[in-house]
Each structure stands twice: as C-alpha cells, then as structure tokens.
C-alpha cells in the first residue's frame, strides 16, 4: 500500500509523509519543535504527532528546511512554512450529481483577470450571468500555488495548495457550491508535466522524482515510472475532486507525460479519480498535441482540438508562422476536415510539416473533441496578446464564434469572447531578482525576429501588463455579442444537445463550395443537423435553409454567413 503524501488526520493524530528516497535524515518541524520521521523501505518518511489546525510546519531533509511539497495551505509564499489543515466544515448547500457531458459548454477563465478584484468571491458574482447565457461549465486555469501574486498558473510548485491571491479554500468551496446551484460544472486545469522555476523543493527532497535524461520545454522530465511519483499526482487529483467537489480536470500538455510508465499512469489516474465519488459525473479532458485516440479510449472524455482553432485562425487572419504553417495552405479545406472528422492532422503528409502528426480519430464521438476559436494559449502566447477581434474582420469573427457554438463538438469559450472583448490577454508573471530578469529577457528574445514589434513587447513582470489583461465589464459594445451568444446557445440546448445524446448514426458529410464556403451534415439516431457556412467569400450556389433554426448573415449573399437547420426523426 503506497503511503500518503502530505498531511492527513488519523485515529492516532495528525500524520505527514514525504518521499525522500536518497535522504539520510528527514524530520518534522512543527511550530518550531523537531520530531523524528521514520523511513519505510520504499523511501517514504512519515510521522504522526499531536497537532491542531492552523499549526505551522516544515520538513527538514538532510539539514534543509522546506515546505511540504504536498502542502494543502501555506502560511505565506512558496518558501514559507506549510499549515496543518483541519477537516472541512463547509456546509454544502446544493445537491449535485453533475451534468451530461453532451450538455457541456465550457468557459475558460483566469481568476486573476476575470474580474477587477481577481478573486474567487468576485468571480462567483459573475456566474449567474454566464448561466443565463447558456454556459454550463467553467474551466479554471491552474490554481496551485506559485511564487508571487500574479501569473497564469502554469509555474505552480505546490499543486495541492490553492493560490492565496484568489482566496481561501472555503472561498473555492463556496464558488463551486454556487456554480452547482446555477447548473454550472467546475473543471480545474491541473499541471502534472513540470514544476515552476522557483520553490520546487522536490528537486532537493526527491531527486529521483525527475528523469534528468529527458527534458520538457520547462526543464527535467518527471519520472512516471516511479510509484511514489504516480501517487503524488493521483493523490493530488483525488484531493481536488474530493475536497472541493469539482466536476473534472483538464490536464495540461499530457504529451509531455511520457517515458516508461506514462501510459499505465494515465489509465490508472482516470480510474482512481473517477472512484473518488461514484455518485456524480467526473470528466477528464486532456491537452494532447499528438492527436491520438488512446486516452479517449481509456478513461478520458475529450481532448483539446487545436486543429479546429488553427484552421479558423488561418482562414480569418492569413497568418502562416510557427504552428500555423501547416494550416495556412488551405484553411477552408482543413475546416472541412475538422467538421467532418474532428482532428485535421491524422497522420497524413501535409505541406508545412516535416513529420506527420496524429492518427485517424474520425470515428470517435463528436463529444470527444473540445473546439475553440480562442484560448489562453493562442491569445496569450502572442507578443501583444491580441484577441481575434483585433486581428480579423469582426463579422468573420462573429461567424466563426457562432459556428463554434452550433457545431456538434464540445465548444470552449475563452473568457470575454462571449461579450466581444478586445482587451488583450498578455503573458505576465511576478518573479523577482535574477529570475525576473531571465523571464523578461526570454520573452523579449522570443519575439526579437519580428521587426514590426520593435521594442513593443510588454514587460511580463510589470504590474501594468497584468492590469491590461483584465476584462472590461463595462464595454457598451458587448450587448450585441451577448445576444448572439445567448441565441446560439439556446439553439445548441434545444437542437444540438438532443442529437448528441442520441449518438451518431453514420459519418458526417462535408462538401466544399467555392473558395470559402461549405455544407456539412451530421447524422444522429434522433435526427440530422445540417449547416451551411461562408467564411470570407459568398457562394451564390450555396443557398440558406428555408426554415433555419439558427442563422447569422445570409448564405449565398454575404461573405460571412451561417445557416443551421435540424430535422428530428
């Protein structure tokens, strides 16, 4: 039986455990008093002592005092003592068994920039507006604690501990409870492929946690062949799902979870996480650049589908650099593939790509693909953090957004997209000293080859960069976008979701018309969904439906237009 990471309550008192297989001596420093820890054969060290909630503690590993790598709560920043956490006394108000995945309309948000206050309580006050629009799930960008106050969350080093700038653990419980009362699922983005650059004391406590022979873009790879490593992440996920009644997880960049033991870890992870509470639905989404089907056939519900995003982006902007290269040659043709099969790149040779990527996934259910036209990655990794409305014809952006919400794949909205936000979402961080300077220089060097930018790349450490990324909730132009969102999501609820729930009966049929138009038909056991789209040039031979259930612009006349019809059997 693998021992538990971090602190927990037992009949004998409060116990704490850490894996430090190479250490000669490990001790617990509780409220400044030293206690010996016992070593087990597998390299786990543990101690059980009298303690009270609120007590502070450190772990002394070969003479160095460190916070608990599985800390549930910190007394300060990532270098400060950890805090003994008592059993939750939260009085949950909402009976909740979850929602059907076919009903998912995901809203990705960053807590720090979603509201002026940047807190869970402030975000909770906005949930009713999202529910009224028809949004059924919020996906929180990572909340595991990192150094400093502001950041995207992907530099976390204490993945069990809620980042304190957002609020307290009970604030998160109230947020989830309120979301459930409105019918909204809460999904957490969890990063298991790397740790941030400051405060990752596992490097000292457990060097075998990492495989120095392999590297990710963010440093040494994590060694998933180690039982203790696998347990660290599984117990972390179990904690978030169980302690906060979350509805699921989005797992960041699982293509970097590789090497010996990785596949077994991922399948075990899915089984264990779902077993936390079998009385309610728990969903698992992956970000996986490989375009493979293995995970979706072994416990995972869906994968982020960047292919759809890239085809839409290239069609609207004409951009062709970096990862857009292979999607810039024929973006409308690629969009036909995305609507027909989900992924575009399925292992076939493609111009702009040196090696094929992906494998055939077109027989997977449409609910196995999370589509988007904007995400934190695709906006925030631009030098100036521009949203699509700042890069392309506004009517084209509206049409692509309507397509996202009415097509039979799981749609994901990036915060503010539903209201036509033009505020940027920039890269920002809150490091100091040499690390801050390295991040600042690294960001500038990343875009040094783009002459048009000159010296305009924002300083990621500047408070103004963070402040500029906050949503504007008083934009008078938002009403038209909010009306479009509500109308499209009402159509989705009444027409698309019943078809998805019935299951697909045969492959989709997609036909291209001219340079920038297409017609798509999806067959389900309950009926047919028929869609006609122009994305940049009208096509007179493509006619609108006589009785369209949803339309935007006029097919056959307008360069940007969408018409959607359903027929139930």
Residue 292 DSSP SS3 = coil
Within a domain: residue 49?
A: yes
Mean pLDDT of 46-64: 97
Within a domain: residue 324?
A: no
pLDDT band at 82, cuts 50/70/90? very high
Nearest-CA neighbor of 470 among 385, 354, 388, 547? 385
Percent over 90 (pLDDT), the chain: 93
For residues 98 and 280, the answer to whether their CB atoms sit within 8 Å is: yes
Catalytic annotation, pick one of 252, 301, 334, 530: 252
Record the tokens describing residue 234, joined without a space. 């599984």
Residue 215, pLDDT score:
84
Q: Among the three residues 83, 107, 139, which one is the final residue of a domain in this structure?
A: 83
Residue 245, pLDDT score:
98
CB atoms within 10 A of CB 543: 14
Residue 266 DSSP SS3 = helix
Domain of 79? Answer: 6-83
Q: Is 139 a catalytic residue?
A: no
Taking only the tens place, the pLDDT of each residue in 515-550 is: 999 999 999 999 999 999 999 999 999 999 999 999
Please report, for the domain that includes residue 540, its CATH number.
2.60.40
Say whether pLDDT at 323 is over 70: yes
Mean pLDDT of 424-435: 97
Say whether pLDDT at 563 is over 80: yes
Q: Distance of alpha carbon 60 from its chain centroid, rounded?
A: 34
Cα distances from 213 to residues 160, 216, 222, 267, 536, in angstroms, run 27, 10, 10, 24, 48
Nearest-CA neighbor of 103 among 336, 308, 281? 281
Specify the residue for token string 């309580």.
Answer: 121
Residue 231, pLDDT score:
98
Mean pLDDT of 105-126: 98
Q: Among the three residues 57, 83, 109, which one is the final residue of a domain in this structure?
A: 83
Within a domain: residue 10?
A: yes
For residues 374 and 415, the answer to whether their CB atoms sit within 8 Å is: no
Mean pLDDT of 379-398: 97
Say whether pLDDT at 145 is over 70: yes
Taking only the tens place, the pLDDT of each residue in 342-377 is: 999 999 999 999 999 999 999 999 999 999 999 999
Say whether pLDDT at 291 is over 60: yes
Mean pLDDT of 270-295: 97
Q: Is 287 a catalytic residue?
A: yes
Say whether pLDDT at 485 is over 80: yes
**Helix spans in 21-143 (H):** 111-114, 120-124, 127-133
Residue 451, pLDDT score:
54
Say whether pLDDT at 70 is over 80: yes
Q: State in Å, rounded, how far the first CA of the chain is from the last one.
A: 53
Cα separation, 136 vs 547, whole angstroms: 28
Residue 288, pLDDT score:
98
Q: Which residues contact 103 (CB under 8 A, 6 or more apart)?
A: 136, 493, 497
Average pLDDT, the chain: 96
Residue 331, pLDDT score:
98
Residue 358, pLDDT score:
98
Mean pLDDT of 94-119: 98
Say whether pLDDT at 183 is over 80: yes
Please report, for the domain that includes residue 16, its CATH number.
2.60.40.10
Cα separation, 287 vs 312, whole angstroms: 19
Nearest-CA neighbor of 130 among 119, 116, 115, 145? 115
Mean pLDDT of 293-298: 97
Record the tokens describing residue 306, joined without a space. 């960047």
Within a domain: residue 42?
A: yes
Within a domain: residue 481?
A: no
Say whether pLDDT at 241 is over 80: yes
Within a domain: residue 285?
A: no
Cα separation, 253 vs 286, whole angstroms: 7
Cα separation, 124 vs 386, whole angstroms: 26
Q: Among the three residues 62, 83, 104, which one is the final residue of a domain in this structure?
A: 83
| Alpha-carbon torsion angle 97, 100, 105, 106, nearest 10 | 50
Query: Which H or E run includes 441?
Result: helix 433-446
Specify the number of domains making up the chain.
2
Confidence (pTM): 0.97
Nearest-CA neighbor of 282 among 246, 328, 322, 230? 246
Catalytic annotation, pick one of 108, 139, 223, 287: 287
Mean pLDDT of 466-484: 95
Within a domain: residue 145?
A: no
Within a domain: residue 68?
A: yes
């Amino acid at each position: 039986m693998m021992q538990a990471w971090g602190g927990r309550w037992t009949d004998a008192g409060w116990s704490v455990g850490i894996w430090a297989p190479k250490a000669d001596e490990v001790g617990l420093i509780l409220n400044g008093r030293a206690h010996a820890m016992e070593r087990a054969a597998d390299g786990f060290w543990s101690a059980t002592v009298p303690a009270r909630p609120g007590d502070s503690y450190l772990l002394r590993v070969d003479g160095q005092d460190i916070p608990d790598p599985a800390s549930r709560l910190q007394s300060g920043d990532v270098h400060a003592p950890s805090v003994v956490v008592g059993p939750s006394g939260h009085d949950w108000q909402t009976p909740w068994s979850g929602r059907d995945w076919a009903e998912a309309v995901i809203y990705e948000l960053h807590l720090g920039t979603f509201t002026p206050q940047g807190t869970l309580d402030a975000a909770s006050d906005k949930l009713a507006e999202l529910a009224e629009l028809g949004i059924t799930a919020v996906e929180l960008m990572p909340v595991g604690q990192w150094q400093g106050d502001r950041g995207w969350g992907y530099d976390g080093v204490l993945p069990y501990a809620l980042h304190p700038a957002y609020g307290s653990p009970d604030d998160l419980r109230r947020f989830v409870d309120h979301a459930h009362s409105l019918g909204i699922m809460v999904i957490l983005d969890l990063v298991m492929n790397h740790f941030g650059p400051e405060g990752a004391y596992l490097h000292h406590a457990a060097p075998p946690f990492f495989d120095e022979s392999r590297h990710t873009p963010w440093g040494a790879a994590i060694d998933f062949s180690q039982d203790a490593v696998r347990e660290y992440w599984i117990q972390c996920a179990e904690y978030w799902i169980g302690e906060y009644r979350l509805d699921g997880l989005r797992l960041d960049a699982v293509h970097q979870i590789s090497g010996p033991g990785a596949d077994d870890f991922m399948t075990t992870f899915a089984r264990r996480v779902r077993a936390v509470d079998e009385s309610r639905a728990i969903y698992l989404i992956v970000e996986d650049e490989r375009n493979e089907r293995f995970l979706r056939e072994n416990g995972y519900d869906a994968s982020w589908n960047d292919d759809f995003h890239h085809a839409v982006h290239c069609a609207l902007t004409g951009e062709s650099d970096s990862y857009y290269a292979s999607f810039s040659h024929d973006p409308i043709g690629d969009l036909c593939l995305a609507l027909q099969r989900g992924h575009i790149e399925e292992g076939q040779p493609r111009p702009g790509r040196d090696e094929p990527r992906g494998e055939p996934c077109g027989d997977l259910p449409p609910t196995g693909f999370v589509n988007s036209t904007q995400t934190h990655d695709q906006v925030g990794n631009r030098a100036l953090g521009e949203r699509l409305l700042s890069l392309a014809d506004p009517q084209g952006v509206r049409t692509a957004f309507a397509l996202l919400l009415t097509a039979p794949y799981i749609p994901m909205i990036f915060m503010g997209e539903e209201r036509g936000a033009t505020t940027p979402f920039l890269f920002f961080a809150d490091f100091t000293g040499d690390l801050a300077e390295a991040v600042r220089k690294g960001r500038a060097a990343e875009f040094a080859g783009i002459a048009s930018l000159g010296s305009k790349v924002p300083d990621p450490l500047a408070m103004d960069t963070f402040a500029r990324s906050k949503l504007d909730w008083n934009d008078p132009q938002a009403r038209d976008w909010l009306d479009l969102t509500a109308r499209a999501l009402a159509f989705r609820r009444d027409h698309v979701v019943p078809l998805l729930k019935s299951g697909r009966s045969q492959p989709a049929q997609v036909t291209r018309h001219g340079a920038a138009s297409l017609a798509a038909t999806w067959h389900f056991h309950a009926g047919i969904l028929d869609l006609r789209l122009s994305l940049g040039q009208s096509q007179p031979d493509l006619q609108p439906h006589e009785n369209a259930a949803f339309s935007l612009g006029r097919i056959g006349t307008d360069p940007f237009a969408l018409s959607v019809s359903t027929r139930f059997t």
